[in-house]
Structure 1
Amino acid sequence: MPYQQTDYYRHTLQTLKNVPPVKSTAEALRVGWAKVNITPPVGTPLAGYGKRKGLRYTEVHDSVWVRTFVFENGQAEVAVVTLDMLIAPMTVAAALEKEYQALGLRPEQVYLTATHTHTSFGGWGQKLAGWLMAGKRDKKLVQETTARIVQSIVAARQQSQPARLGYGIAYAPHLVRNRLTGSASGRDTTVRFLKIEQKSGKTAVLTTFAAHPTILPSMARALSRDYPGELVDQLEQQVDLAAFAAGAVGSQGVVAPYGDTYESTAAVGQQLAQAVLQRLPEVKTHDTVTIGFGRVDLRLPAPQWRINTTHRFAPFLFHALFGRYPAFVSSLQLGSTILVGVPADYSSELLPPLEKQAAQQGQQVVVTGFNGGYIGYVTPDEHYKLKKYETRSMNFYGPQTGSYLTEVILQVIQQYQK
């Protein structure tokens, strides 16, 4: 059955209409930012590969952080939270939702995302699949991570100052490949970034790129941020704070010039930083900024996780292995830029209609993943029959998921028209 004729599709679109985003424009933009170390002790499980089966790291190559921006204009306030983790874990997202009221925030005002490094810490998984990917849940670790994210929001508020905001792009075609099809045209080579200038003269950058941070060996027992860590470290030699969020990485692999080594993570991070820094001075900033925010619950079909070409797991077995979690699309407008957060490895091959719609509105769209939920890989429908990891092992909801989620995002973008 075409997804347009399903109850889950109609329900999601009705929810979009019933709960539009909140938007306000004012000439009083204020922005603050902060970073807090979230590195757990040695002996914590790693997250990123099922074959590890909860493997624990024995050393910290580089510490992991939460970096947070708070934007407000006297009428609306939003927070952007970026985590040096595989995803924004569902267990952490659920714990955070219990803390927002004390901060005077609603869940839709907090935009969660992650760098998607596959060598950060786990200890937040639930059910068998979560344990294999990230090690068994450690309740204390989840609580401590949640507390540090809250700390970062409070600290960012305390550093708030009058500010200006701008959007820029750079390109790094030599650092990304389409690992699903090998297509040169099916790549997202754009580095997108927000430039924030405080009245005091301090500057921050929030950047995204759509190449999986999977350079380091899967069985290495060291905690690391992979190439996003080197990227922000290099940027912070020139700006006061830099943060990274994984873009539409679903079918995008990183090109590692020196194999699965720290020399490669350094080289990729340094080249991306150089690309951003070359464009940074020419980015114009503005102090009259629209702030908007929204969140729509994403109704899904029954899971269709495949064993092989002709057989699928029954839905109850899928839920027994993976659990049941909320799925939603989060959105945020900052000036002319619309950020859309999805609970997935969303493929860059699905971006063109989204970018076209935003351009028609005189805006830009930036898609980031791992927003506090997870529904697997989302790739173009025509790739469903490929016997690849992205389309077989990690496609949870069937052949129309790419078209369905892309249409929902298009509807979200249209709600932010000027």
Structure 2
Amino acid sequence: MKKLLVSLAVLIVIALVLIGRIDRTPIHSTEEYKVTMDNVHETVKKLNKAIPSQDTLLVGWSSECIIPKGEPLPLAGYGFRGPYRMVRDSLYARAFSFDDGIRESIVLTLDLMIFPIEVRKRLETKLNTIGLTTDDVMFSATHTHNGMGGFDPSAIGNAAMGLFSEVGTNKITEASFKAIVEARKHKSKGSVGFLKSESPEWVNNRIVHNGRKENSIRGIKITREDGKNAAIVTYNAHPTNIEMNYWILSRDYPGAWVSYLEASDKIDFAAFCAGMVASHGPADPNHNHDCFSRLENMGKVLSDSILNIWDKTPTQAVVNTIIQKTPIDFRPSQVRIEKHLKVRDWVFRSASGGLEGDITLLKLGNINWFASPSDISGEIAIDYEYDKLVKQKNEHFMLTSFNGNYVGYITCDAYYDTLESFEIREMNWVGPEYGAYFGDIIKELIEN
């Protein structure tokens, strides 16, 4: 009996050490919210003090393959998988340099599931050698679920993205840095414009049957005086056309989209950045059972949507290009065990490194491009009516995911206690009301 009581006591102590209750303090009343809103106001001050450019914009771009030779890297996507067995299409780092004569802003997107935190950290040192910092870079990824893994040394990273590879991580870092260097080296006078179209038939709400979805195709049109043109495009559907039983490297539909754009007579270079993908999956109006035909068809339709509006999309040559990053102050992590219980924060921090991130804003003329340290849902943009807010200022809005940190899924707060999907339960690491938290940050930055 005594042994039983001792065992029960030990189990209770272990449970108390490892498990806590979900913090449901209203987010707007927290110190973290106040600190972050102070950070937002500091960002606004910096933007308002920025010296306007009077020079013609200089733009350059470049790409580099990120696949290391002879290293059997694991696949990242659909949970833990082993090494890839073949390459269907190569994976790249694609970089753009926008120089307004006063400031230089870099866009860097990778054909990976997320932008690796470890790669971002390593790039900081390398960028310092060419007069840049990671504060000058808008990070993104295509979110392909058939890209390389092995780039996250944390316990969670090893479990979710495959065993850490120094060779693979170093290759991604070196290729990213070289793409940035080459993009800067080949700048030429140019202009930029905002691309926007709709494609509702190729995206669905993957957590609510017939639920709301943000259908937009958004992007940046780039033209140069040397006759070269480029595009940065974004869409809100997860790149999950290829099923998990194919152990191949592929860019999924973003790769097909980019290839079709570059094969046209209008665009020489293109890149994709994952949009508001949380709660959004790919659809197929043709009901094609072959996943490779499906992704090719999707890429072609999305490409045509851009090409059809290309010529009538105006551009500006004299624009300001400014990147500002607003740090987010996070409450202790809230990885749920059940409705009211969570893993204690010290456990999560030990396994992952903890919660850290910012809302990145790239202002490119009248384009407000925001990026989140997460998967973020297009339903938040619908709720906050961001397009309506920017229209009042004769500006444009776009929002992408995976900006160099990662804090899980940010979805509508109404789902937190009503849905039991993987996105809402296992992949929400921050707790309730963070849809409103992130939504408020972006809204304040737009309005002020």
Task: Give the TM-score band, short-chain normalised.
Answer: over 0.9
Unpaired runs of 5+ in structure 1? Answer: none
Larger radius of gyration: 2
**Quick check: 2:276–2:378 contact (8 Å CA) kept in 1?**
yes
Give the drift of 1:355: 2.3
SS in 1 for 2:329: coil
What's 1:373 paired with? 405
Give the drift of 1:325: 5.2
Give the drift of 1:54: 4.0
Select 1:303's aligned residue among 326, 333, 338.
Answer: 333
C-alpha distance in structure 2 between counterparts of 1:266 and 1:166, whole Å: 27
**Quick check: 1:90–1:325 contact (8 Å CA) kept in 2?**
no
CA pair 325-138 structure 1, distance change in 2 beyond 3 A: farther
Matched, 1:92 2:119: yes
Matched, 1:5 2:24: no
What's 1:244 paired with? 272
What's 1:364 paired with? 396
Select 1:227's aligned residue among 243, 249, 253.
Answer: 253
1:25 maps to a residue whose letter is S
What's 2:73 paired with? 44
C-alpha distance in structure 2 between counterparts of 1:144 and 1:68, whole Å: 16
Q: How many equivalent residue pairs? A: 412
What's 2:363 paired with? 333
Give the drift of 1:19: 4.2
SS in 1 for 2:195: strand
C-alpha distance in structure 1 between counterparts of 2:247 and 2:354, whole Å: 30
1:406 maps to a residue whose letter is G
**Quick check: 1:345–1:370 contact (8 Å CA) kept in 2?**
yes
Matched, 1:282 2:312: yes
Q: Deviations over 1:286-335 (max 9, x none)?
A: 11212121001111111111112232211122223322253111110111
Select 1:209's aligned residue among 230, 235, 244.
Answer: 235
C-alpha distance in structure 1 between counterparts of 2:282 and 2:337, whole Å: 28
Matched, 1:407 2:440: yes
Greater mean alpha carbon deviation, residues 373-382 or residues 348-357: 348-357
Unpaired runs of 5+ in structure 2? Answer: 1-24
C-alpha distance in structure 1 between counterparts of 2:340 and 2:315, whole Å: 54
Select 2:430's aligned residue among 397, 404, 407.
Answer: 397
**Quick check: 2:109–2:141 contact (8 Å CA) kept in 1?**
yes
SS in 2 for 1:125: coil
C-alpha distance in structure 2 between counterparts of 1:129 and 1:286, whole Å: 44
Q: Deviations over 1:319-378 (max 9, x none)?
A: 233222531111101111111110111000000322222222221111000011111111
Q: Deviations over 1:98-139 (max 9, x none)?
A: 122112113221100011101000111233321122112212
Q: Deviations over 1:14-33 (max 9, x none)?
A: 12223444543323111011
Select 1:349's aligned residue among 379, 386, 391.
Answer: 379
Greater mean alpha carbon deviation, residues 287-296 or residues 220-229: 287-296
**Quick check: 1:88–1:373 contact (8 Å CA) kept in 2?**
yes
C-alpha distance in structure 1 between counterparts of 2:189 and 2:42, whole Å: 34
Give the drift of 1:282: 0.8
2:263 maps to a residue whose letter is Q
C-alpha distance in structure 2 between counterparts of 1:173 and 1:7, whole Å: 40
**Quick check: 2:120–2:134 contact (8 Å CA) kept in 1?**
no
Select 1:79's aligned residue among 106, 111, 122.
Answer: 106
**Quick check: 1:230–1:270 contact (8 Å CA) kept in 2?**
yes
Greater mean alpha carbon deviation, residues 312-321 or residues 53-62: 312-321
What's 1:133 paired with? 160
Matched, 1:118 2:145: yes
**Quick check: 2:68–2:167 contact (8 Å CA) kept in 1?**
no
C-alpha distance in structure 1 between counterparts of 2:233 and 2:116, whole Å: 21
What is the correspondence of 1:152-167 to structure 2 with a 5 Å cutoff? 152-167=179-194
Q: Deviations over 1:142-170 (max 9, x none)?
A: 12211111111111111100001111211
CA pair 414-99 structure 1, distance change in 2 beyond 3 A: farther
Give the TM-score, by structure 1 length. 0.95
SS in 1 for 2:276: coil
